[in-house]
Chain A
């Protein structure tokens, strides 16, 4: 890290990105740039972005790795289910409740979850009991997560073909 800060401005092309969940470290490495969705909208982070902190929405985190051959850079997409971005100037850390790579997503399970969440949403809106607010939020979040997973898998497969 110290070396990076001592280099000239022109040389700093990458920054360190960490994606940490309570269960594991999903990613830790140098990236060219990253984009994600915060509570106030989508944003990009470039090297030497000024320090900032924002809660994240359920959404994609997309980042590109520096290429080995200097031409194509590899892009990685993660499904991130809410959390925080903490950029301290040299390292950007995403603290997420959970984060999955496109390849790790079980599309069948996601589709089932989507169906379940939709059914639950309908039920909750039909019978509004005492616990309705929490259940409604939960169902809505579950739906968001499922839809995100499906989107990412489709995006990933389309990109490959």
Chain B
């Protein structure tokens, strides 16, 4: 099979998914499915982009949610700024969207340049430290970020190209398109030459170097792209909640993303997304019956991790014989 048809297949699947998602938006009256799906888009991008680091490249980051939070805060702050809104008018949302991703990209380049030189536990803890640094900044810079209250007062959503993001259907459609584009991007990267360079590094960094791979550079690019995709997740959350909250930058948020990956499966491309759906569902269902959500979620994760010793998707695919081990 030639390479182009491989990408063509992924692009068609993406188009198909967008259509399905949009149809759901149009035909489902009840607000719950849409709200639920938007939270999946947001946290799904966090988990999927984290798996680009963990699953593709073998870099276990404990501080990935920092970039999710940064994207969300940057987006919210820009749209709360009077001068920004007067300058860009109807284009404000689009400009804020790209500027927030860009800011996250720059920030992650600096953090990444320091962190990706390290391996394994050192990398994990340094990313965690930088995440907690960002958290402290958010919590203590009350005049800018609202501190532990979060970014209050709502954000402006000027209409652009006929899209009104304060309308729930428009917002949902907008988010689903962005979401699918990001997933498609990750998919293409996964199957590209770059994706295979990441596999080489994950499997055997020393050997990759002896094949002439620029290990530092490849890891840094991966770190930056993953961070930028995570920031899109944060932006979607900010659009949805009309605010931004310091918990997004707290280490438990990164931990939750790791749980999502473990639940779904690290080695299957869409595994983390399935994990996201599972974790959100468990959360929502448990919340209806008990206030001890974390306890129940923790037990379920332990059952999956200790019982199956792999993600649910991996387990099912192996059971049905699709994935051979």
A and B assemble together: no
- Chain B interface residues (CB < 8 Å from chain A): none
